[in-house]
Structure formats: C-alpha cells, structure tokens
Structure 1
Amino acid sequence: MTSFAARPGSPGSRIVGLGSFQPDTVVSNHDLAKIMDTSDEWIRERVGIVNRRVAKPEELLVDMAVEAGAKAIADAGLAPTDIEAVLVATCTMPSQIPNAAAQVAHRIGVLAAPAFDLNAACAGFCYALATGSDLVRAGSARYVLVIGAEKLTDWVNPTDRSTAIIFADGAGAAVVGPSEEAAIGPVSWGSAGDLSGMIAVEDRDSFIFQEGQSVFRWATTQIAPIAIDAVERAGIELSDVDVFVPHQANLRIIEAIAKRLKAKGARDDLKIARDIVDSGNTSSASIPLALDHLRQAGEIASGDVALLVGFGAGLSYAGQVVRCP
C-alpha cells in the first residue's frame, strides 16, 4: 500500500503573542439610564458592569479584528507572512458571506492562508484556541492567528434593558505557535443543544434574546465542573492555577464560579479576571480581551498558569489551561 507524506507537527503548542482592541466610545450606566428604565445601582447589582465600549456605525467587526490580530502578531515578534492560518471566532457578522477571517487575513497581510470563522458564541475563543492548537500540533500550520471579535451592538435592541446593559463591542487575539512542551492544555468542551432557546436571535430581522435567570442558573452550576475538568486534563492541580479568566458574562456569575473553584482547591490568592466591569460582555472577544488587559496592568506574568473557560449560546462551553506568554 502506498503511504502518504505527512508534514511533521509539534510536540506541543503555546500562545506566543496577544493583542486587543476596543472602540473609543464609552457608554456608562448613567448614559443608559437616560434612555431606558434603569439606574447605575440596578445594573451594578445585577451584572456588575459600570461601563462598556460601543463601536460607531462605521466601525466594522472586521476592522476591530484586524487591529487586535495585527497587535498579537507584533507582540509575538512575527511578521504577517509567518502566519499560516487565521481563525475568527464570532457570532455577530452582519452577513454570513463573506466570512470575517479571509478579509482579516488579507488586510493584515497574511497571504493565501486558510481562513475561516467559527461560531460557538461566547465559548468561541476557547473553541478557536483549541482548534488552532491542534493545527499546530498536527503540522497543518506553524503559526495560527486566533481572534475573538464581536460587534454585539448591531444585534441588540438599544432600549431593551435586559440586553443593552450587558453587551458591548471589541476584539482580542492570540498567536498560537509550536512548543517542545505543551503550554496549551487539552480542551474540555461540549454543548447542550436542548437548551439552545435560552439565548438566541430568532431571524435576521431580530435582536438577541436571552432568558437571563435561566442562563444564570445554568452557568453558576454547570461551568465550574468544566473548568475543573480542563485542569485535570492538563495533568495539574487547581492549586497550580495562577489566574482564572472566564467569559465575562456577568460579575455575579464570575464570582460564583470562582467561589466553587476555591472550594475545590484553588488558591485563595487566585487572580480573577473582572474585565466585565469596564468592558461589558463582548462574547467571544471577552477572554482574550481580559487576558491582554491583565497583562497590560502587570497583574500576570509570563509563565503564569491561566485557566480559561467560555460559555454561552448554543448552549456551548469550553475550557483549557494555558501558560501566559
């Protein structure tokens, strides 16, 4: 039997660069209180958000993805021509064709690379990171640009206080490259399609809808075990984790999951990403945004062990342990 040639892969993979982008326009709780029945106190109490970033009509999702992706490539010390695949996790493109990834690759200067979008909503970045890691380890690409980008305000009713107070815009990115040792752990992921109606956009003429209380109960009870499973798959202990970077859905959800992790062995000094407070919920962009902001603030260092976990519409969820670049 004739055997096929195979491109050699890498023993492991790692994040070698990070980048992020947020629009300049800041919308505060007080701004929202002027156009709907809400208040700063009401919003802080329920979701923990103080400010969120909102893109202008002319600022496109692809524009934000390009900015974040280019920063991640530069941070990795690479040129665009070093990138061999581009993945964009998003659920808010204004149309399904063409995809975001091919446009992003072209504008950054990544030439003729495979480029595709991935929609797992708020778990999208973790799904895309796992896919990028597997591409590197299998030898399908040496360096992969992974971006989470969302313009959620295109899909939110601006006067609906159940969604307009939460969702925001932005992009975050990571470059995944080869490593002699695994620095991106095995992914723990799955879905609960029977609950898909809890977060949905009914059709192309509709706004995003979510059953807030149902989502809250699901996330606060079901996500901690996924995070713990990701740690176990990586062959480490919860006490080895330095920083917890969950999807920035709601500060109360974040705190509830972190409390469960500490009850199971996470350290008391575990750093917890709370980017939600000033960035809002940016779906697939929230984890890379939060990770990059923690690094910019000097709250994490290269080599720190970070536990990432995304969850949202689908319902989809995913988590993995990574070493910070």
Structure 2
Amino acid sequence: MSGSRVVALGHYQPERVLTNADLEKMVDTDDEWILQRTGIATRRIAAEKETVADMATEAGANALKASGLAPSDIGQVIVATCSAIDRSPSTAAQVAARLAIPSAVVFDLNNACAGFCTALATADHTVRAGAARHALVIGAEKMSDLVDWTDRSSCILLGDGAGAAVVSASDEARIGPAVWGSDPSRSNAVRLVNEWQPRFEQEGQSVFRWATSELPAVAVQACERAGIAVGDLAAVVTHQANLRIIEALTKRMGLPESVVVGRDVVESGNTSAASVPLALSKMAERGELPSGKPVLLFAFGGGLSWAGQVITAP
C-alpha cells in the first residue's frame, strides 16, 4: 500500500442548544450583534459531567461503525483536543478502552484549532509508513469549560462537540500532502490562560486580519501540493471560527460558486479542534460531499498554527 484514505466519518454533539436569545439573558448582548460579528446563531453545550472523552467516544464509535471495521483492526487512535483535563490516561486511551480497541498506539495531540488536520496528517504518515493499517482520528472539545460567561466578546463564540474519521491504507494516496506550520511570534493572539482554571482569550481583530490576509495563499498551496486546481474542489471545510472569516478566506481563494463551503459555525459555534471533522461529517450525512471527489480541509488558530490537506470524500 502506497497511500491512505478517509473511509468513514462520524460526529457527536451534546443535547443542549444555547441560542443567542439565551445569551441575551446572561450578558450584555443581542442576537443582531452576535450575528453581525460572528454569524453564529446557536451552539451546543455539554452537560456538566459530560467529558471530552465521552464526546470523543461517541464520535469515534459512529465513525468506526460506518467504516465496517472491527475494533481490533484499529492500530492507532489520536484525539486532537486542547480542552481535555486528563493527562493520563489520555483521552485517546480512554476512547480505546471504551470502544474495546485492544492494542493500538494511543495519544492526544494539542495543536489547538489546527489539531484535527494535524492529527489527520500524522495518521496518514503512520499508515503510509506501514506502522498501522487503520487509524481512528478524532477532534473533541468541551470549550464551554474554558469560557468566561461574563465576557460577551468570547462567550458568544464557543461550543462543544466531536468529529471523527477512520483512515485506512490505500493503493493510492487519497489524503494529500499536509501544508502546516506556525508563527510562534504571535502565539499570544489566541490563548488559554490560568493553569488551574484555564480561560479562553483572543485578540479578535488580529486573528481576523491574519486568517483573511495570510492564510488564503496557504490554503491554495494545499491544493497545489495535491495536484489539483482550486476549481476542481467539490467542497472546502475550514476551521469554523467565525462566519466572516470563513467567507472572506474562501472568497480570497477564488473559489467558484460550485464549491460547497462548510458553514457549520452558524449552528455549532467554534468548537476548536472538533470544528473541521464535525462540519465534515455533518456535510457527508446531508449528502453534500460527493463520494470520490476532492475536499480541502484547512484549520488554523492558537499557536498561531495552521494545517490542511486535500482528501478524497469517502
């Protein structure tokens, strides 16, 4: 086998829906203000005792079921997260135990919002090197634990959830080369502060300018490295940070109207490392991803880091 491919997807979201009207009762804000600045209408909030591992397990189980593989087939489990509080056993180890995956290599990966695409590239490299034949890659976050609910600039943004993909060996490379990197000189632009009770903070205008001015060219580079033109894409799924960022970034990429753009941020909010696989899985469930067609995944955020690749839709 000379490559790898995404063979199945799955996702999970908590039951509780937090609307903009709900937020109006909590902080000095209103629906119009939130929609104009972020495009977010609702977000899902996990139950108090619902953990990152709980959500990751549900998404992973759905992806594994869709793949038709047995738990014993999985040789690697990676969970991308920046909100999990457990250091050992890792979230990935907890997922493997709950899904009865017997002997996979398991670890968590923290590259903030770029985490899932980074983890997907890592799984691709693992499978292509022959170190595992099948991998389970999950992005899962409980961002509601990190929110200052008195800060109207940040509490309107974040949500909880998880998305997952099963990666398998393939006779052709169906996951393109990763375009990834970071700008540590600006790492404080998005941050989690206070070690014992972390809180999400960001410099919103700086992040907006960076994402919309510097990253479109990087996203196009991911297409070039995969050997396709931007116009050949069937869909683009970026990090669901803010609808204004998504629309500005994809516009500056020069996408034709035929390309479907993920806008799950409207109903799910910003779920950090979970946002790309969550949006991707929901698009597939709705029939918006034609099987066998190229899809650009591109994530960015804290670090400041970015990661992306073109995959073939399962």
Equivalence map 1:7-18=2 (5 Å): 10-18=1-9
Partners of 2:234 and 2:290 within 8 A in 1:
no
Q: Distance in 1 between matches of 2:263 and 2:293?
A: 17
1:197 to 171, 188, 204: 188
Change (3 A) 1:283 1:66: same
Aligned to 1:103: 94
Q: Verify: 1:303 aligned to 2:292, yes or no.
A: yes
Equivalence map 1:218-233=2 (5 Å): 218-233=210-225
Q: State the shift of 1:255 in Å.
A: 0.2
Query: Hey, which bits of structure 1, 4+ residues long, moved more than 4 A?
Result: none
| 1:59-112 CA-partner distances (Å, limit 9, x unpaired) | 111000000001101111111111011000000012433311111111111112
Equivalence map 1:224-263=2 (5 Å): 224-262=216-254
Aligned to 1:280: 269
| 1:154-197 CA-partner distances (Å, limit 9, x unpaired) | 11111211111001000000000011111100000000100011
Q: Distance in 1 between matches of 2:214 and 2:66?
A: 35
Partners of 1:89 and 1:124 within 8 A in 2:
yes
Q: Which runs of 5+ in 2 are unaligned?
A: none
Aligned residues: 313
Q: Verify: 1:129 aligned to 2:141, yes or no.
A: no
SS of 1:257 mapped into structure 2:
helix
Q: Verify: 1:289 aligned to 2:278, yes or no.
A: yes
| 1:3-40 CA-partner distances (Å, limit 9, x unpaired) | xxxxxxx2111001100000000000000011100000
Aligned to 2:302: 313
Q: Verify: 1:44 aligned to 2:35, yes or no.
A: yes
Aligned to 1:323: 312
Work out which of the two has the higher radius of gyration on C-alpha atoms and give 1 or 2.
1
Q: Which runs of 5+ in 1 are unaligned?
A: 1-9
Q: Distance in 1 between matches of 2:290 and 2:257?
A: 18
Q: State the shift of 1:206 in Å.
A: 3.6
Query: Alpha carbon RMSD of aligned pairs, Å?
Result: 0.9
Q: Distance in 1 between matches of 2:131 and 2:117?
A: 19
Q: Verify: 1:35 aligned to 2:17, yes or no.
A: no
One-letter code aligned to 2:223: V
SS of 1:141 mapped into structure 2:
coil
Please, what TM-score do these two structures have when normalized by structure 1? 0.95
Q: State the shift of 1:53 in Å.
A: 0.2
Q: Distance in 1 between matches of 2:87 and 2:27?
A: 31
1:155 to 143, 146, 157: 146
SS of 1:229 mapped into structure 2:
helix
Q: Distance in 2 between matches of 1:79 and 1:215?
A: 42
Q: Distance in 1 between matches of 2:116 and 2:202?
A: 20
Q: State the shift of 1:299 in Å.
A: 1.5
Q: Distance in 2 between matches of 1:234 and 1:258?
A: 18
2:177 to 179, 186, 199: 186
2:64 to 53, 64, 73: 73
Aligned to 1:268: 257
Q: Distance in 1 between matches of 2:202 and 2:208?
A: 10
Larger mean CA deviation between 245-254 and 296-305 belongs to 296-305
One-letter code aligned to 2:139: G
Change (3 A) 1:206 1:300: closer
Please, what TM-score do these two structures have when normalized by structure 2? 0.98
**Percent of matched pairs sharing the same residue:** 53
Q: Distance in 2 between matches of 1:98 and 1:226?
A: 35
Partners of 1:226 and 1:318 within 8 A in 2:
no
